[in-house]
């Protein structure tokens, strides 16, 4: 009886494994281009203080930023044009991602940059988050790919973005940076 039970169980397990593998193959074959990316944002001393993730939707990119260790306050956050984060000043990330050649800020008549994001509001416990959708953008392919040859970075500035002043909303120095990958 024991032997028969074992032999019956094995083909069932094998069938289950085949079905699962087939579904995984179908999913990865349909998403050869980049559809998601993430970045660990580190401060000038190398400590992780926030995380960013991006997901390509239809003709848009959804960005989520979550702080995990920032002092209480409001911070300008932007997608910058180059995927490089050399501490301590993080200037290698370049300016705000701006493939359409506009000025900074949603309240600027000549605005806005594709990389402009809402301010990150951080509470007394060091956490805070937002989710925002960039319209008319992609991660790869199309007219405005965020992850082009030199990549992209997400940068937190020392103070709040006024959403108007070119080129970076008077948000001050860069205090944390993460390369999207």
Q: Which stretch binds Zn ion (CB under 5 A): 37-45, 47-55, 92-100, 133-141?
A: 92-100
In the complex, minimum distance from the CB of residue 118 to Zn ion, in angstroms, rounded to a whole number: 12
By CB under 5 A, the count of residues binding Zn ion is 4
Residue 80 sits in the site that holds Zn ion (CB under 5 A): no
CB of 71 to Zn ion, least distance (A): 23
Q: Least CB distance from residue 75 to Zn ion, whole Å?
A: 14
First to last CA, the chain: 54
Burial classification of residue 31, based on how many CB atoms lie within 10 Å of its CB (0-12 exposed, 13-18 middle, 19 or more buried): exposed
Q: Which is nearer to Zn ion, 127 or 165 (CB)?
A: 165
CA angle 47–124–115, rounded 5-degree value = 60
To the nearest whole angstrom, how small is the minimum distance from the Cβ of residue 178 to Zn ion? 17
Nearest residue (CB) to Zn ion, 104 versus 157: 104
Smaller CB separation from Zn ion, 145 or 169:
169
Residues 96-125: x/- map of binding to Zn ion (CB under 5 A)? x-------x--------x--x---------
In whole angstroms, what is the distance from residue 119 CA to residue 107 CA?
A: 13
Taking the complex as a whole, the smallest distance from the CB of residue 74 to Zn ion amounts, in Å, to: 16
Cβ-based nearer residue to Zn ion, 68 or 165: 165
Output the smallest distance, CB 111 to Zn ion, in A: 8
Among candidate residues 123, 161, 153, the one with its CA nearest the CA of residue 52: 153
The span from the CA of 74 to the CA of 128, in Å, is 10
The residues that touch Zn ion, with contacts defined as CB under 5 A, are: 96, 104, 113, 116
């Amino acid at each position: 009886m024991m032997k028969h039970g074992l032999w019956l169980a094995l083909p069932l397990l094998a069938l289950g494994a085949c079905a699962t593998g087939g579904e995984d193959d179908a999913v990865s074959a349909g998403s050869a281009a980049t559809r998601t990316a993430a970045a660990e944002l580190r401060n000038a001393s190398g400590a992780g203080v926030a995380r960013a993730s991006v997901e390509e939707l239809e003709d848009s990119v959804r960005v989520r930023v979550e702080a995990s260790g920032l002092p209480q306050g409001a911070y300008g956050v932007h997608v910058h044009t180059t995927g490089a984060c050399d501490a301590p000043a993080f200037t290698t990330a370049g300016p705000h991602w701006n493939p359409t050649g506009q000025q900074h800020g949603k309240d600027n008549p000549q605005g806005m940059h594709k990389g402009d994001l809402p301010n990150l509001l951080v509470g007394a416990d060091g956490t805070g988050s937002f989710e925002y959708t960039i319209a008319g953008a992609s991660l790869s392919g199309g007219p405005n790919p965020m992850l082009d040859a030199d990549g992209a970075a997400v940068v937190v500035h020392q103070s709040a973005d006024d959403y108007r002043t070119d080129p970076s909303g008077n948000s001050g120095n860069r205090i944390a940076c993460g390369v999207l990958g």
